[in-house]
Amino acid sequence: MRDLAVDVRRLTRIYGQGRTAVKALDEVNLTVERGAFVAIMGPSGSGKSTLLNIIGGLDRPTAGEVYIGDVEVTALPESQLYQIRRNQVGFVFQSFHLSPLLNTLDNVLLPALPIGIDRARRERAIELLDRVGMRSRLNRRPGELSSGEQQRVALARALIMDPHLVLADEPTGNLDSRTGAEVIRLIEELNQELGKSFLLVTHDSRIARRCHRIVYLRDGRLCSAEEAGIEDVA
Ligand code: ADP
Ligand code: MG
């Protein structure tokens, strides 16, 4: 059994063709140990979202491989990739991506909908919402929640299928610094309590500093903090 949550090997993603082609990722190698909390930093356009999207099976690489645990996700057909995406990986986005018509509880249950929502699943959803401090807001729709509350709901949704890995793309990007710090604290606690691996993109050095490890990207390649134009915070 491999002891890695994620193993990325020589991952390359080229968008477009010919003269307009953009190399968003250029032979990136990255491993994330089980239970690790890893930050990704880099300037806008450096490939951070592309990397997360391919790891989570939302996008396909031009070349290279991604393993989630023992499974080479980049070798899977779409039908199986879908299951990995649903069962093994949780996503948290900058803009929350909650369904505006569903209340808090139903938003958290949404990833479980295709396999059926039984009582145990509902209880788990409520437990998670309790854990992120949203138990008293089960019937509210996203429009009736603050930004920080919406991201807490999104965090509970990311955990509903009990994934090994949570991918968070600038989860505090739409939050004020205090609310952002609260969400990060929560992510830290969940990382420690549940042993989930977190891979988190952030522009905030104070947040990155709290992670176990920081990796830097520039022009689709891993680099040093200095090369990424970021003051070394480690
Ligand atoms: P980051 O998240 O670090 O800001 P991205 O991964 O979004 O960077 O983008 C990396 C590079 O790939 C950028 O040059 C961006 O313009 C390009 N890119 C991203 N998505 C697409 C796409 N769907 N089509 C064409 N180019 C894209
Ligand atoms: Mg991005």
CA-nearest residue, atom 23 of ligand 1: 15
For residues 28 and 51, give the distance between their C-alpha atoms in angstroms, rounded to a whole number.
9
Question: What separation in Å is there between the alpha carbon of 7 and the centre of ligand 2?
Answer: 20
Ranges of the chain whose pLDDT falls below 50: none
For residues 219 and 228, give the distance between their C-alpha atoms in angstroms, rounded to a whole number.
9
- Confidence (pTM): 0.95
**Ligand in nearest proximity to the CA of 51:** 1
- Residues lining ligand 2 (ion), CB within 5 A? 48-49
Q: Which atom of ligand 1 is nearest to the CA of 13?
A: 12
- pLDDT value, residue 231: 81
- pLDDT value, residue 3: 80
- pLDDT value, residue 217: 98
- pLDDT value, residue 171: 97
44 lines ligand 1 (CB under 6 A): yes
Q: Which atom of ligand 1 is nearest to the CA of 16?
A: 25
- pLDDT value, residue 28: 98
Q: Which atom of ligand 1 is nearest to the CA of 51?
A: 6
Q: Using one digit for the tens of pLDDT, what is the confidence trace for 51-84?
A: 999 999 999 999 999 999 889 999 999 989 988 8
- pLDDT value, residue 234: 58
Question: What separation in Å is there between the alpha carbon of 228 and the centre of ligand 1?
Answer: 16
* HEC assignment per residue over the chain: CCCEEEEEEEEEEEECCHHHCEEEEEEEEEEEECCCEEEEECCCCCCHHHHHHHHCCCCCCCEEEEEECCEEHHHCCHHHHHHHHHHCEEEEECCCCCCCCCCHHHHHHHHHHHHCCCHHHHHHHHHHHHHCCCHHHCCCCHHHCCHHHHHHHHHHHHHCCCCCEEEEECCCCCCCHHHHHHHHHHHHHHHHHHCCEEEEECCCHHHHCCCCEEEEEECCEEECCCCCCCCCCC
**Ligand in nearest proximity to the CA of 41:** 1
Q: Using one digit for the tens of pLDDT, what is the confidence trace for 191-226?
A: 999 999 999 999 999 999 999 999 999 999 999 999
